[in-house]
Amino acid sequence: MTAPLWLRKRSCRRVRRQIDDWLDQRSVAQLPDVVGEHMRTCEPCRRYVAQWHALELQLRSLRSVWPPESALHTLPVTVLEGDRIPSPERRTVRLVLQGAAVLAVAVLVSATLYLAIVGRAPQMLARGSSQMMSPAAQPGQAMSPDLPVAATR
Protein backbone atom coordinates (compact mmCIF):
# COMPACT_ATOMS: atom_id res chain seq x y z
CA MET A 1 0.00 0.00 0.00
CA THR A 2 1.38 3.41 -0.96
CA ALA A 3 1.62 6.33 1.48
CA PRO A 4 -1.14 8.97 1.42
CA LEU A 5 -0.58 11.97 -0.83
CA TRP A 6 0.00 14.50 1.97
CA LEU A 7 2.67 12.28 3.50
CA ARG A 8 4.36 11.76 0.16
CA LYS A 9 4.39 15.52 -0.48
CA ARG A 10 5.97 16.22 2.90
CA SER A 11 8.52 13.58 2.22
CA CYS A 12 9.24 15.08 -1.22
CA ARG A 13 9.79 18.52 0.29
CA ARG A 14 12.27 17.11 2.79
CA VAL A 15 14.08 15.14 0.16
CA ARG A 16 14.29 18.10 -2.19
CA ARG A 17 15.82 20.21 0.56
CA GLN A 18 18.44 17.53 0.97
CA ILE A 19 18.99 17.46 -2.76
CA ASP A 20 19.45 21.24 -2.80
CA ASP A 21 21.98 21.00 0.02
CA TRP A 22 23.75 18.27 -1.85
CA LEU A 23 23.90 20.42 -4.98
CA ASP A 24 25.18 23.39 -2.98
CA GLN A 25 27.95 21.36 -1.43
CA ARG A 26 29.03 20.24 -4.88
CA SER A 27 29.66 16.95 -3.21
CA VAL A 28 31.20 14.09 -5.10
CA ALA A 29 29.64 11.71 -2.60
CA GLN A 30 26.45 9.83 -3.29
CA LEU A 31 23.13 11.26 -2.27
CA PRO A 32 22.04 10.21 1.24
CA ASP A 33 20.43 6.76 1.39
CA VAL A 34 17.09 8.14 2.47
CA VAL A 35 16.98 10.23 -0.69
CA GLY A 36 17.87 7.24 -2.82
CA GLU A 37 15.12 5.18 -1.24
CA HIS A 38 12.60 7.92 -1.77
CA MET A 39 13.57 8.42 -5.37
CA ARG A 40 13.13 4.78 -6.20
CA THR A 41 9.43 5.21 -5.64
CA CYS A 42 8.92 8.89 -6.53
CA GLU A 43 8.97 9.79 -10.18
CA PRO A 44 8.67 13.62 -9.70
CA CYS A 45 11.70 13.63 -7.40
CA ARG A 46 13.64 11.54 -9.88
CA ARG A 47 12.84 14.12 -12.54
CA TYR A 48 13.80 16.89 -10.12
CA VAL A 49 17.26 15.43 -9.60
CA ALA A 50 17.67 14.58 -13.26
CA GLN A 51 16.98 18.11 -14.42
CA TRP A 52 19.39 19.68 -11.89
CA HIS A 53 21.99 17.15 -12.84
CA ALA A 54 21.51 17.90 -16.53
CA LEU A 55 21.79 21.63 -15.86
CA GLU A 56 25.02 21.12 -13.92
CA LEU A 57 26.47 19.10 -16.76
CA GLN A 58 25.54 21.76 -19.30
CA LEU A 59 27.06 24.52 -17.22
CA ARG A 60 30.23 22.52 -16.68
CA SER A 61 30.55 21.78 -20.38
CA LEU A 62 30.13 25.47 -21.14
CA ARG A 63 32.70 26.36 -18.49
CA SER A 64 35.41 24.49 -20.32
CA VAL A 65 34.95 26.38 -23.59
CA TRP A 66 33.89 29.83 -22.43
CA PRO A 67 36.05 31.82 -22.75
CA PRO A 68 38.09 29.99 -25.39
CA GLU A 69 41.64 29.04 -24.48
CA SER A 70 42.92 31.28 -27.27
CA ALA A 71 41.70 34.28 -25.30
CA LEU A 72 44.08 33.45 -22.47
CA HIS A 73 47.30 33.63 -24.44
CA THR A 74 48.17 37.19 -23.59
CA LEU A 75 47.46 37.92 -20.00
CA PRO A 76 48.64 41.41 -19.46
CA VAL A 77 49.04 41.64 -15.70
CA THR A 78 51.82 43.97 -14.76
CA VAL A 79 51.52 46.01 -11.63
CA LEU A 80 53.65 49.04 -12.28
CA GLU A 81 56.59 49.75 -10.02
CA GLY A 82 55.06 53.03 -8.88
CA ASP A 83 51.94 51.23 -7.72
CA ARG A 84 53.82 48.70 -5.66
CA ILE A 85 53.34 48.47 -1.95
CA PRO A 86 56.05 50.40 -0.12
CA SER A 87 58.52 48.40 1.92
CA PRO A 88 58.15 48.43 5.74
CA GLU A 89 60.89 51.09 6.01
CA ARG A 90 59.14 53.30 3.51
CA ARG A 91 55.86 52.74 5.29
CA THR A 92 57.46 53.84 8.57
CA VAL A 93 58.83 56.97 6.93
CA ARG A 94 55.42 57.66 5.44
CA LEU A 95 53.73 57.24 8.82
CA VAL A 96 56.24 59.58 10.49
CA LEU A 97 55.66 62.19 7.76
CA GLN A 98 51.92 61.86 8.12
CA GLY A 99 52.23 62.27 11.89
CA ALA A 100 54.40 65.34 11.46
CA ALA A 101 51.88 66.84 9.05
CA VAL A 102 49.01 66.27 11.49
CA LEU A 103 51.08 67.80 14.30
CA ALA A 104 51.93 70.83 12.18
CA VAL A 105 48.28 71.40 11.33
CA ALA A 106 47.32 71.08 15.00
CA VAL A 107 50.00 73.61 16.03
CA LEU A 108 48.89 76.01 13.30
CA VAL A 109 45.25 75.81 14.34
CA SER A 110 46.14 76.27 18.03
CA ALA A 111 48.34 79.26 17.26
CA THR A 112 45.63 80.88 15.17
CA LEU A 113 43.04 80.39 17.90
CA TYR A 114 45.43 81.68 20.54
CA LEU A 115 46.26 84.80 18.55
CA ALA A 116 42.63 85.44 17.83
CA ILE A 117 41.67 85.21 21.51
CA VAL A 118 44.67 87.00 22.96
CA GLY A 119 44.67 89.64 20.21
CA ARG A 120 41.05 90.52 20.85
CA ALA A 121 41.24 90.57 24.65
CA PRO A 122 42.80 94.08 25.05
CA GLN A 123 40.21 95.56 22.70
CA MET A 124 37.38 93.98 24.66
CA LEU A 125 38.84 95.17 27.93
CA ALA A 126 39.33 98.68 26.59
CA ARG A 127 35.78 98.83 25.22
CA GLY A 128 34.31 97.59 28.48
CA SER A 129 36.15 100.17 30.63
CA SER A 130 35.35 103.11 28.31
CA GLN A 131 31.65 102.29 28.39
CA MET A 132 31.66 102.11 32.17
CA MET A 133 33.40 105.50 32.39
CA SER A 134 31.06 107.22 29.87
CA PRO A 135 28.76 109.85 31.48
CA ALA A 136 26.37 109.77 28.53
CA ALA A 137 25.04 106.42 29.57
CA GLN A 138 21.45 106.90 30.68
CA PRO A 139 19.31 104.52 32.70
CA GLY A 140 17.28 102.29 30.43
CA GLN A 141 19.64 102.85 27.56
CA ALA A 142 21.81 100.13 26.26
CA MET A 143 25.45 100.54 27.17
CA SER A 144 26.51 98.92 23.98
CA PRO A 145 24.71 98.15 20.74
CA ASP A 146 25.55 94.51 21.39
CA LEU A 147 23.76 94.43 24.71
CA PRO A 148 19.96 94.18 25.00
CA VAL A 149 17.99 97.19 26.18
CA ALA A 150 16.96 96.83 29.82
CA ALA A 151 13.28 97.17 30.58
CA THR A 152 12.31 100.51 32.18
CA ARG A 153 9.53 101.14 34.60
Partner 1 sequence: MTFELTAHTRSADYEDRLAIEARDGNQAAFDELVRRYEARLYRFAYRMLQHPCDAEDVLQATFLRAYRALEAYKPGGFFASWLYRIALNECRRKIRGRKASLPGGVELAQQVPAGPATDPEALALRQDRNRHIRGAVMSLPEHYRDAILLFYFEELSVEEVARTMGITVTAAKVRLHRARAKLLAALDGYV
- Which range in 3-11, 19-27, 100-108, 126-134 contacts partner 1 by CB under 8 A? 19-27
Residue 2 C-alpha from the chain's centroid: 55
CA dihedral 63→67→69→72, nearest 10 degrees, is -130
* Of residues 99 and 128, the one with the C-beta less far from partner 1: 99
**Helices and strands: H and E segment counts in the chain:** 4, 0
The single residue among 1, 28, 62, 147 that binds partner 1, judged by CB under 8 A, is: 62
Q: Annotate 101-134 with b (16+ C-beta within 10 A) or e (fewer).
A: eeeeeeeeeeeeeeeeeeeeeeeeeeeeeeeeee
Strands (E), 43-93: none
Using the rule CB under 8 A, is 28 a contact of partner 1?
Answer: no
**Interface residue with partner 1, options 1, 6, 26, 147 (CB under 8 A):** 26
* Contact set for partner 1, span 102-121 (CB under 8 A): none
Q: Applying CB under 8 A, does 87 fall inside the site for partner 1?
A: yes
113, 119 Cβ separation under 8 angstroms? no
Is residue 93 a contact residue for partner 1 (CB under 8 A)? no
Q: Minimum distance between the CB of residue 50 and partner 1, rounded to whole angstroms? A: 10
Residues whose CB is less than 8 angstroms from the CB of residue 141 and which lie 6 or more positions away in sequence, other chains included: 149
Does 33 bind partner 1 (CB under 8 A)? Our answer is no
Residue 82 is a binding residue for partner 1 (CB under 8 A): no
Positive/negative CA dihedral, 64, 67, 71, 77: negative
Site for partner 1 contains 29 (CB under 8 A): no
Taking CB under 8 A as the criterion, which residues in 34-53 touch partner 1?
51-52
Which residues would be at the binding site for partner 1 (CB under 8 A)? 20, 23-26, 51-52, 54-56, 58-68, 71-72, 75-79, 83-88, 90-91
